[in-house]
Amino acid sequence: MSNLGTMLRKLNECKKHLHMGRTYACLLGFCELLEKSLTTTLFPAEERQLNEGINAFQKELQESKSFKDVFGPVTFQDSDKKTTLAFIKQLIVVEEEEILAYRDSQNSGAGQKTDADGNEQLVTKIILLIDRGDFDKAREMYKDNETLRSLIIRQYNRSGIGYRKESKFEDALAEYKKALMVAPEDEGLHYNISRVYIERGDWAAAKEAILEALKINNAFKEGRDLLNYIQRQNPTA
């Protein structure tokens, strides 16, 4: 895909996030797009097409109810991508500070009561931070909150299983490995990784993964059963 095609696809992803009310994901994607547009050389006709798309999206963004509910009325300047990028980065910082403040307020209550909708929003934003490589900030958000950590792992497990069923093995492994950054001591994640390797036909990697699970929990029956299966199917693994 051409550079222009890649950036237009990213712009469409931003629109989808915006239409679904996922303002934070929208801003992250738009920030990435603007950064790429400022460092990529395009033909003049391609540059015009991209700028027209960005300008149209900015109007859509500033008129969006979900955006205005969070940031109030904002007016973007057409064809001023550097200024827009700096402003979007400021909005992202504001949003992340609010996320952290919300998390702290949830954890400070008696019995650390949590709200289901609030947790769902936090999990979505934590996963976005992990996906863009900002793991320190993500960890700060879920630390000392086992409920959030469990929800994050469940989300990664769900998406990993979905990818595995579609035979998208690399995507499945990527999801499970991100989950391991959150819960490296979870033997179930290593078990799921082993199953992906089995379906991919990589028996040695499957054995290595399930042995990691058994190091964590030597009494893990499902892990023992899977190890025996691997050794029966491929004794040389």
Half-sphere exposure of 134 (CA within 13 A, CB side): 14
Q: Which has more confidence, 147 or 98?
A: 147
Is residue 186 a part of any domain in this protein?
no
- pLDDT in the model for residue 111: 43
Question: Dihedral of the CA atoms 183, 187, 188, 191 (nearest 10)?
Answer: 120
Q: Report if residue 131 sits inside a domain.
A: no
The answer to whether position 228 is within a domain reads: no
Residues of the domain holding 91: 1-110
Q: Is pLDDT of 235 > 90?
A: no
For residues 218-235, average pLDDT: 95
Poorest-pLDDT segment among 17-26, 50-59, 178-187, 214-223? 17-26
Q: Look at the chain and report how many structural domains it folds into.
A: 1
Render pLDDT for 16-73 as a digit per residue (tens, 0 to 9).
Answer: 888 887 788 899 899 999 999 999 999 999 999 999 999 999 999 999 988 888 788 9
Structure tokens at 75: 């007016």
Task: Give the integer Cα–Cα distance in Å for 187 and 185.
Answer: 6
Q: Flag whether 69 is in a domain.
A: yes
38 in a structural domain? yes
pLDDT digit string, tens, across residues 145-168 = 888 899 999 999 999 999 999 999
Asked if residue 24 belongs to a domain, the reply is yes
In a domain, 147, yes or no: no
Contact 132, 144 (CB under 8 A): no
Give the list of residues 6+ apart from residue 9 with CB closer than 8 angstroms, or none: 1
Can you give the length of the chain in residues? Answer: 237
Q: Would you say residue 199 lies in a domain?
A: no
Give the span between the Cα atoms of 117 and 171, in whole angstroms. 27
Tell me: pLDDT of 90 over 50: yes
For 201, how many CA atoms within 13 A lie in the half-sphere containing its CB?
1
